[in-house]
Structure 1
Amino acid sequence: MGELQALLENHGLMLVFLNVLVEQAGLPVPAYPMLFVAGALGVQETGPSIGAVLAAVIVACLIADTGWYFAGRRLGQPMLRTICKVSISPDSCIRQTQSLYLRVGPRSLVVAKLLPGAGALSTAMAGMTGTPLPVFLFYDAIGALVWAGSGLLIGVVFSDFIDAILEGFSTYGHMALVAVVGAFLVFLAWRSWRRFRLLRITKRVPRMSVDELESRRLAGALPVVIDVRAHGDVPMERIPGSMVLDMQGALDSLDALGVAPAEADIVVYCACPNEMSAALLAERLRVAGYARTWALAGGFDEWKRRHGATVPPAAAHPGPGQATAR
C-alpha cells in the first residue's frame, strides 16, 4: 500500500490524536474515517494497537471538551448563541441537544458524540448548568470510549474493505484525494444549503418587537405568549404570563385555553439566533389556522436585556402548556 500505509503505520497514533482533537475543538474535520482505518490496521497488527488508539482518543476528547466545558461555565448563554451561529447543523438539532441535556443531565454525554452536532454543545451545556468537573470528566470519558469504540469496531469488522480503499489511495494518489475532498465539500454544501433553506423559510414569519409586546401588556391586551425553549426538570426564568409549549407536541393546550384560531394573538419566543425555534412553531401555528402569530424579535435574551422582569425560577409554575413540554 506504499507511502500511505507507511505513514499510517509509523504515525497513525499521532494522526488519530490530532484528527480527534481538531474535530472535537469544533472544526468540520471528521475523525470517524480515521478511526475506521485505525481499527483495520490494529486488527491486522500493522498499525498502533487498538488500546493505544482508544487512550489517545479519550485524551484528545478530554482536552477539547474541557475547553468547551469552561467556555460554557464562563460565557453561558452567549456561548450557546455562538455555537448556533457557526454550526451548520439545523437549529432544531441544537435545541434537541439542549433539551436532552436538561432532561438527562451529564449522562447524556455518554451518547452525545454519536449525535450530529451535539458534542460541543453538550459539553458547553455541562459547564453552563454547573455540572461538577469530576462528574463531567467521568461521563465525557465514557462517551469518548463509546464513540471511539464504535468507530474502531467498524474498522475491525470491515478491515478487508478498508484495506481495498487504502490500496486505491496508494494506486491513484492525488485523484483519490481530490475525490475525497470533493465529496467532503459537497457534504458541507448540502448541510449549508439545508440551513440556508430553513432560515429563508422562517424569515417569512412576522416578528413582534419586545417594545410592542410590552405596550400590549401595559394596555391590558397581552397576547398569548408561548415559551418554546428547551426545558428540563429545573425551573427556568420566563417572561411574565408566558406558557411553556413543546414545539413538537400537540396544540391541545391552546384549545384548553379557549383560544380560537380566528381571534388569537400569539407571540412565541425562544433563546436562539434568528428566533429559529420560535419561528418554526409560529409557522406551524399559522398553518393550523392561527394567522395572527408572531415570533418575538430577539427572543428571551432581548426581553431580559430590555426589561429584566421575568418569572423567577423559584416562583415559576407550570403554564397551561407545561404538560406537553415534559
Structure 2
Amino acid sequence: MRLFLHHAYSVIFGWVLIEQAGVPIPSFPIMIAAGTMSAAHKLHVSYSILLILLACLVSDSLWYMLGKRFGTRFLQLLCKFSLEADNCVTNAQTRVTKRGPVVLLFSKWVPGLNTMAAPIAGQARIPYGEFLTYDLAGTLLWASAWLFAGRFIGDLVRRSHELLGMGVRHGAPIILLLVVAVFTYRFVRWRLFLNELRGLRLEPGQLMAMIGDADRIGKQRPFIVDLRHPIDVRDDPQTLPGALHIPPEELVKSRALIPQERDIVLFCTCPSEETSARIALQLRKLGVRKVRPLRGGLQGWRDAGFPVDAITRPAAPPATQIVALPITPANGN
C-alpha cells in the first residue's frame, strides 16, 4: 500500500489507460482504493478524476479513430481478445446505433461494451465532438461513483484505528484479490461458453460440401443467415452465396422465418462467432435442432478460399438512425 501511496496518481492513470485500451483487468478496485486514501488526505479525489478523464480521453479517442478508419476489420481484432462473449460486436453495435451517443453515458459499466463502444461510435460516424461530450460525461459519472464509494469506505475506516491499520497493511493484497477475482470470473464464463459451443460449429469446408451435395442431387441448399449488423454490411457489402440478411432479434422472435426441414447456418462479424453461436443456442432451446454457427464467420469463409456474393442494398441511412437495412443477396434463394 505504501508503494501505491507514493505513486498513486501514476498508478491510477496507467491502470485506467490499460483497461480502456482493452486489457481485461478491472480498474474499479484502484478507484475505490484511491477514494479510500482520500479520506486520510493522502491524495485528492479531484486530481484522480482529472487523471481518469485524461486516460479515457486518450484511449477512447484512439479507439474512435481506429473504428472510423478501419471499421469492421478493427472490431474483429478486438473481438478476438474479448472475454465477454455475450457483449461482443453485434450486441454492442445494436446498442450504439439504436440509442446513439447516449449509450456512452453508461457504457463503462457494461463489460464488453466498455471496450467496444468507442470504436463502434467511430464506425457509425457519430461526430467526434458529440462522441467526446457523451464519452467524457459517462467517464465522469463512472469515475465519481467508484471514487466516492471509496471515500465513504475511507470515512468509516477512519473512525476505527484497528480498521485503519488493517487497511494500510492489507490494502494492496485486497485490491489484487479483487482484480484476480473479476478476471477469473470473466475467464471462466468465457471458457464455459466455448465448452457449450464445442461440437456445434460448422467448418467452412463442411458448408461448401453441403452446398455442393445439394446442387448435385437437386435439393435445397442449407438456409444460410447473415446476422451482421447493417453498419458491418455497409463496410463489407459481400455475403455467402444465397445468404439472407436477418437481424438476430428478428430470427429469434419469428419462428416462421426458419424452415424446419433444412439445415440452418448462421454467421456474423465476430471471428469467434459469438453472436451466431449465441443465437444458435437460443434457437436450439426453442426446439430448432438443425442450426449451427459457421466457424470464423464471413472472414473464415473467405480465408478458406470459397466464393462470396455481392449484396445489393439501398444507401445506408445516417448512423444514429440505423435500425435495419432491407438487404437482398445478389444470388439469393
What TM-score range do you get, normalising by the shorter chain? 0.7 to 0.9
Higher relative contact order (CA 8 A, sep 6+): 2
Q: In 2, distance between residues paired with 1:190 and 1:252?
A: 31
Structure 2 match to 1:324: none
Q: What is the Cα deviation at residue 273 of structure 1?
A: 2.4
Cα 1:93/1:128, change in 2 over 3 Å: same
Contact 1:268 1:278 survives alignment (8 Å): yes
Q: Is the 8 A contact 2:223 2:265 kept in 1?
A: yes
Kept in 2, the 8 Å contact 1:224–1:265? The answer is yes
Question: C-alpha deviations, 1:116-169, integer Å up to 9, x for none?
Answer: 232221111122223332222222211211111211221233333455766314
TM-score normalised by length of structure 2: 0.77
How many residue pairs get matched? 306
Post-superposition offset of 1:230: 4.2
The runs of at least 4 aligned residues of structure 1 exceeding 6 Å deviation read 232-236
1:317 corresponds, among 310, 315, 326, to 326
Residue 65 (1) aligns with residue 63 (2) = no
Determine the structure 2 residue equivalent to 1:32. 28
Give the conservation status (yes or no) of the 8 Å contact 1:69–1:124: yes
TM-score, normalising length from structure 1? 0.78
State yes or no: 1:93 paired with 2:95: no
Is 2:5 aligned against 1:15?
no
> How far is 1:246 from its partner?
2.7
Correspondences of 1:50-199 after superposition (within 5 Å): 50-89=45-84, 91-94=85-88, 95-161=90-156, 163=158, 167-172=165-170, 177-178=172-173, 180-199=175-194
Cα 1:313/1:56, change in 2 over 3 Å: farther
Structure 2: which 5+ runs fail to align? Answer: 316-324, 329-333
Counterpart contact for 1:264–1:290, Cα < 8 Å: no
Unaligned runs of 5+ in 1: 320-326
Identity of counterpart residues, as a percentage?
A: 25
Is this contact kept in 2: 1:103–1:232, CA < 8 A?
A: no
Separation in 2, partners of 1:156, 1:177 = 17
Aligned to 1:323: none
Equivalent-residue separation in structure 1 for 2:179 and 2:22 (angstroms): 16
Q: Distance in 1 between matches of 2:24 and 2:252?
A: 37
User: For 1:147 and 1:243, how far apart are their aligned partners in 2?
Assistant: 37
CA distance in structure 2 between the partners assigned to 1:18 and 1:116 by the alignment? 19
Q: Residues of 1 paired with 2:137 and 2:174: CA distance?
A: 35
Distance 2:265 2:62 in 1: 37
1:206 shift after superposition: 4.2
